[in-house]
Structure 1
Amino acid sequence: MANPLVCDSVWKDKQKYEEAEAHYQQVLAGTAPKGGGKDKKQGKSGGGSSIKNEIAEARQQIQKVLNSHKGNCIQIFGGSGGVAGDNSQVTRRVESLEKENRDLKKVVEDMKALVQRLESRVTKLEGGSSAPAAQAPTPKKPAAPAEDDEDDDIDLFGSDEEADEEADKIRQERLAAYEAKKSKKPALIAKSSLLLDVKPWDDETDMKKMEEEVRKITADGLLWGQAKLVPIGYGIKKLQINCVIEDDKISTDFLEEEITGIEDLVQSMDIAAFNKI
């Protein structure tokens, strides 16, 4: 939205135009002073016409300024995107909010009526259920056993003891079956996959022989895999070999001792990768 202060006109040359207007009125009345001003340059014959031209130009400038400010005011207050348009949007928004408010009020009223109906229904149900409970007949007490029954040889607790013994027997059988099944299940063996880097002394080391010597290392829980030569610089290559070990039987310290024990061919051994299986 444009700033309404644009309509405020600032007339810096107002004094100049006022003096020109006063001089024009003096000329019309015949009281204008002779000489001075522009008469000195243009002469007496051309003085009046010059002043008239200045006044006419001043009036044209004033009219242009007023027209420009009028156009700005029209653009601000009467344009399609100005205050009028904003007022219409605000009015539509207010009307929509009032409609939503009325709808919400209606929904709230319906909910209140529904809650009241439910409360009255619950009250009726509670009142109806309490009456029969008060009139419920009291249970009759069992008749006392006759004196002749005291001398009977029937064991009232014998049946319970037999049931407990039977339950214990079934439970013990199930536990024994579970233990037997558990013992037959094979235990999981923890294994690891290792990628070893075996480095030679120099570029003249026989790498094929080195691999053969490494594979000669055998032990329970050790399985050698694929191997390859990887260049490391200056014409030297290292042996990269894979193996699978059982964690309970083979350790990395064992592998390092055995491989570095090949002193003629092996300079050092490093573990490049270690993964649990």
Structure 2
Amino acid sequence: MTRKLFGTDGVRGRANTDPMTAEMALKLGAAAGRYFRRDQSPVHRVVIGKDTRLSGYMIENALTAGFTSTGMNVLLLGPVPTPAVGLLTPSMRADVGVMISASHNPATDNGIKFFGPDGFKLSDEAEQEIERLVFSDITPAQSENIGRAKRIDDGRFRYIERVKGTFPQGRTLEGLKVVIDCANGAAYRAAPEVLWELGAEVIPLGVSPNGFNINDGVGSTAPGAAAARIRETGADLGICLDGDADRVILIDETGEVADGDQIMALFADRWAEEGRLKGHTLAATVMSNLGLERYLNDRSIVLHRTPVG
């Protein structure tokens, strides 16, 4: 089957232009709802998060209508990072999770990304079947079986607690001054709160979303703003996120952007020492440089390159 909707990271496009229209979001919600309601369980749930784009309201409501029309109950998280949807989908016993975002792209774009009940991206086969259902006749639920929608006000706090739980007990970030650039996106509240609660002195940037300024001169696609703030304030570290906070750029105390391959090498080295590196293998894209491969080879770590796009 030739794909018409799904790309490498869900369905994306310019907001209010095919395929990123309210009509298509409605059909996608109904198709995904029908796909995940294949068993006879009496309760079916979907968790929906979004970033701060203006079009998120339109797409969120359309998806909700589609899912509830097939009998799915919808739990609305509001603006949360993409990883929050991955974490909260299984913890809230949902059948499927959805993130409404176009990641690092401009505010005029948007996208819909699905997660399975395990919190991971759907398989190609699942996406193909949902796409097939979009272009077929979907039988709606009986009127007495229409789903409900509920806004989850503490979704961000649940995610914050999960993130903090990964930090070693008995350690804090006290004495560390951190510039955190949230790109006016999904992590504009969660990221500064996590750092502050762990003890850091937080210098926030890109935390005033207005629906149009996501990724606009701030965030991981424009780390210069954070670098300048580091030099102005004497901060120890800069962290730049993108619109949905699933990618990061790190900046050192001099305002220099850290090379991504170097960061991956450091993580791989440490995890290999701790026995946490699965298969003693690091997966990176074909864009990673030869220096990373040589560094890992010297430490008997396998580099697996994957295609981009």
TM-score by length of 2: 0.15
TM-score by length of 1: 0.17
**Which structure carries more helix by proportion?**
1
